[in-house]
Structure 1
Amino acid sequence: MLLSLDVADREVVVAGGGAVAARRVRALLDSGARVTVISPEAGDDVTRLASHGDIRWERRRVRPEDLDGVWLAIAATDDPDVNLMVARWASDRRVWCVNSSDGFSTSARVAAVSRHGDLAVGVVSEGAPDPSRVARVRDSLGALLDEGQVDLRRVRGRRGRVVLVGSGPGSSDLITVRGARLLAEADVVVTDRLGATGLLAALPETVEVINVGKSPDNHPVPQHEINDILVDRARKGLTVIRLKGGDPFVFGRGGEEVHACVEADIPVEVVPGITSALSAPALAGIPPTQRGIAASVLITSGHAGPEPAVRAALGHGVTVIVLMGVAALPAFVEAALEEGADPSTPVAILESATTARERVTHGTVSDIVRIAGEMAVKPPAVIVIGKVAEPELLASALAATPRP
């Protein structure tokens, strides 16, 4: 029978201080156990954990009385005879025990575990122990869960909740592992027009998908209505995923949606995403900061226009990254020149980054408005103004490296 032991805040004794013991100690600490290591010597990992006060280390040989009153014992010394002896002491005291060198002599085995939010998957060998095989199966199952390929929606009712998930700049494989897993738990997905919307095609038909996306001149669903949708569905006991392009808190109005949930007493969580402000330049070979060229970066919205902080940055050679700024490009160029920026300062416009429609347009402060017009640049786009946007800086090196 496969059981799960809750060791949180329980006393656990680990006999041994080597590499095997260290792995067990790490897993126990991750589960919240109070760990005592008993061993005359220990490796660097156990020694450091003890020096930080994460565990208690008694530098001596293990004794039978060490197992009195403990919840779990781990026999992980380098001597199989000592491990067997510890297992017998544990059996006499009716203490759960794992013998790391002999899976048949004790009352318990440690499963190879992968954790996915509030779900844990454990794999054990029922016959002769085979750790490599078990780990391979665990990793394969875990990968399916993390990639969102398994329906993780709850069957039994629970309190509704809202999770804001940043889906990244557009490519479906740039969502975080946690974001993909939570998407597989969704009863409802409230989605934007941009971001990794290709992920929606893999959702079960029973998942309600609500499109509240907007474009520069078309906002069909006002923000207050989006807030109401999130609260309404969560109050029905559903898991609501608010799938947002980029990162929820980078010009994504995520803060407003969190506040609406908090005011309505709805549990809410935020899963960060890869913002296009940094990922789009990176994929185009543009490092927003680079030693000797630019030590600072300012991210702003085209809707806000060239505010005083932006003007100061443009005038002092700081990398300025503008989101949603295609229409406002002339205003930013004018501000840069007014603040004394060199007219030859490089500018790059990155359209539809990470998608099949991706395009990069280069120019300078003096000519980028004309070039953008000739190239019919359209949103969504990320604009980078600064020396780091020089095409030869890194782009040539990255161009020679094929993308996976």
Structure 2
Amino acid sequence: MKKAKQETKQAPEIQDSLDERRSFSLRLPKRHAAAVLPAYLAHLAAAADHLERSSRARRLHTNAASPRGAATWSSVPFYHPSTFDTLALDPDLKARLLADLTAFADGREFYSRTGRPWKRGYLLHGPPGSGKSSLIAAMANHLRYDVFDLELTRVATNADLRALLIQTTNRSLIVIEDIDCSLHLTGDRGIAAKRRNKRRRLHATASDDSSDSDSDGGDMGGGGDNHRAKVTLSGLLNFTDGLWSCCGEERIIVFTTNHVDDIDPALLRPGRMDVHVRLGACGAPAMRELVDRYVGVGDHEMLHAAEGCIRDGAEMTPAEVGEVLLRNRDDPDAAVTELAVELKARQSAGDELQWEDSAAELSDESPRKKGRKGLGWEGKVRILGRLRSLTKSESGRRGV
């Protein structure tokens, strides 16, 4: 009987605790309501927004080819391991990017006050393997945004481009990779004379060599060119900063290219591409960060030699450095040694190229091409011996 009474007494307490988990009650005198409630409600809204950002499932979208139907997006869950903590970037550049992205994400009041669309444009340019795609993934992970990978060659008309833009969501990165290769958008705007002349020569050669095939399939080929030309530079400009770019909030438009000089200047001005980020060869701090992350080496004589080669002009992209380390991830000494040898080989090839270029004009058999062939394994063995002697002499001078 006593046990039943105890259970009866405990039941309301359990129910009260469940109710407390579901809701909270704030009571305050009316004379303090005007001073407390606005700040409290703003705090609740900010906390809810943070929870929604951190818990929302993000997706990677791409536009499907639909020549006859409406332009649509298809998507898959977005999971990418790249973050700013794992990204091999110059520390100053990384800090500036993080500050700019954070200011953009927190800029609702600023953009509303200034009357600017809440969007920002980034141009990422550099050689293949310099980390452009990894940086895009790190930006998306930092901001918790969806990614819309726009393939322009699959877009038939400017109307389809606008339809795709309208379907994108707020808090998203809209990415056009290799913008210089997606479409020939610069033909009507007067690009460099060498590119015009090159296209003319290629067109003349193709006309001479394949006149029969042109006569057989000329209509088909011409139809394909006309089809691609329906997406114009004007349509792309409206996509970046025209009226149709304002049909959403909190969006970042990212262009990538390996050759920034091939892009029409109209696409690059402020208001379209606000931030230009050049990603190039791996610097000494980024190289050291990669070595530490891949093979766990923070100090090594060959690591100092590799840094010296970078300071003297040797170049490797982050992807190339990562590949060398990945091949030797089970042998840290071999990984750092091979990296130093490769950098020294490239430095020696660059020195040879510079000397030979000053002595002769470049041609198809030019020293530039010879210098790029590298030194071979025998040369690399000699370089390894020199690196070891240099590191020993350097350590001896330090000891003195």
TM-score by length of 2: 0.29
Structure having the higher strand fraction is 1
TM-score by length of 1: 0.29
Structure having the higher helix fraction is 2
For the pair shown, the structure with the greater C-alpha radius of gyration is: 2
Task: With a CA cutoff of 8 Å and minimum separation of 6, indicate the structure with the bigger relative contact order.
Answer: 2
